[in-house]
A and B are shown apart, each in its own frame.
Chain A
């Protein structure tokens, strides 16, 4: 069963616009490069299990749930979440929860005279005085601030900060702002020390503490401190400290972070988030139509509680991180939400003010499944589709007989997507195709007595081989003969391609990983086809 072209099966060599075939016989790469095309950047899961951005044109060998790697071909997809990692941004609405960074990484102090030792460094509006080592609010007027310009450039949107202060008397009802917007919404604080971690959704040079008199009492505040902190270790090679923590407050309610206006009505979406257990082991994904799936981040499995009729899954990355996803069709416009959960099916509970889960990389796609992660920071972003092809030397593609073989894992839901094709650009006759349509595998021959045979494949990994010679075609999947055909012609082809239309060279990418691809210039025997395709 000597192949004339072998591709993959743990042996990968990639560079921009090219990926090499491999020769088992001398254990080296063959000078038979596939020309690849993907105009945009994209991400993959690298060998270490980390999400990693790959430059435009560079083929992706992906190791998600696959230690040997697979060549990933995907159709275009758009992440409709405009802030996929900045969960503290105002794009995300926090309810009974906050987004925090790693307090242990606090940088230098940005507040001057935060201990109010002197009446300097702060601009005071009516109602505020500085004396006795504190700043005092008289509760006589509403929404009045003390303010100062911070050191080190102030607050930068997207960065995470630790804000500390102490209430030394009374009950404060305050909000904390930059001069461009809210950093910490209005809340009441009794006597005590407070440490708030916030992911800034606005930039601003100044810090403003607003006193309010609609709740609480007159109060004194002291030891105000602002320091930038880093995020937590993430499953990303690009932003290794890019993870944030979704932390519950002490209320008895749901504790959540939602993209409030992300979903349109009557639309099928797949929503996903990368998450790791913290003090809480569970989270749920929820959409406006109440479709809900619970995910067990301790054991990497989906919980038993599923509301509505979504499809869902959980995939393992590195170091306890999982990508959790849910697909559902909406019945109204509204939110996509990430909810903390106390246990399977319990998302409304009394929080302790400190527990939560780590989150990274949210994605929302108008697709029935999740594709590779697409980072966004302020706008929706599309990853473009990709394909690959080559015109090998004579003798590689069998002209009078031959066999095409692929070993793939992934989705099969892209109509007209080409798994593998041999053909000639512009030639509508000489072509032999394995492609996808209406969730069925199709096999088409354009030569002689044209045939198109459909097959309903099993789910999961597929090892498919199409053998051909004059009057003797056979197609095997996972060790089973699917069909034979006595077509008395064989197409004469010069090009082999994956994910590409054989006539126009338009990209028709499936959404799969190629574990292995092979061409033979002989029609393998049926026994050999069974051996080749048995999993």
Chain B
């Protein structure tokens, strides 16, 4: 089974949702069915700087969040990113802040 993992940073949640919806077909019963196999994890506006706390757990400084909407995807049996996704691919040199259990992003990302 061919598997690739990709990380994306979309301009907004809405932009991601449009592209996500395009990967589905609504059947005659009204169910939204994926057109092929994939697993999507929305990380959202990820944390760029962690909050700091004192020894009692009270927050000293707040977290700083990305303005982009971040998404990790496991694609099955795909040769490349789906149409419209590649422009938002983020090519990391580390595993990043999220992973799929037992799978290395660096070993499974698409060849650039």
Contact = CB atoms under 8 A, between A and B. Distances in A.
A382 B33 contact: no
B33 to A, nearest CB: 5
A508 interface: yes
Interface string B64-102: 000000001010100000000000000000011111111
B101 to A, nearest CB: 4
B21 interface: no
Contacts of A415: 31
Contacts of B37: 37, 505-507
Interface in A258-276: 258, 260-261
B46 to A, nearest CB: 10
Instruction: Place the interface of chain A in its size category.
Output: 35 or more
Contacts of A335: 57
A229 to B, nearest CB: 24
A492 interface: no
Given A56-B102, A56-B103, A382-B99, A78 B41 contact: yes
Interface stretch (A355-363, A373-381, A399-407): A373-381
Nearest to A387: B37
Given A40-B100, A55-B102, A380-B97, A503 B33 contact: yes
Contacts of A515: none
Contact of A379 (B25, B29, B99): B99
B14 interface: no
A136 to B, nearest CB: 26
Contacts of A383: 100-101
A39 B34 contact: no
Interface residues of B, number: 37
A41 B101 contact: yes
Nearest to B77: A505
A379 B98 contact: yes
Given A40-B101, A379-B96, A379-B99, A261 B51 contact: yes
Contact of B34 (A40, A260, A450, A501): A501
Contacts of B35: 504, 506
B53 interface: yes
Interface of A: 17, 37, 39-42, 53, 55-57, 76, 78, 93, 95, 185-186, 258, 260-261, 335, 374-375, 379-385, 415-416, 428, 437, 442, 444, 450, 452, 501, 503-508
20 contacts: A39-B74, A39-B76, A39-B103, A41-B103, A55-B102, A379-B96, A380-B43, A380-B97, A380-B98, A381-B100, A381-B101, A382-B72, A384-B39, A416-B32, A450-B28, A503-B33, A504-B25, A506-B37, A507-B37, A507-B39
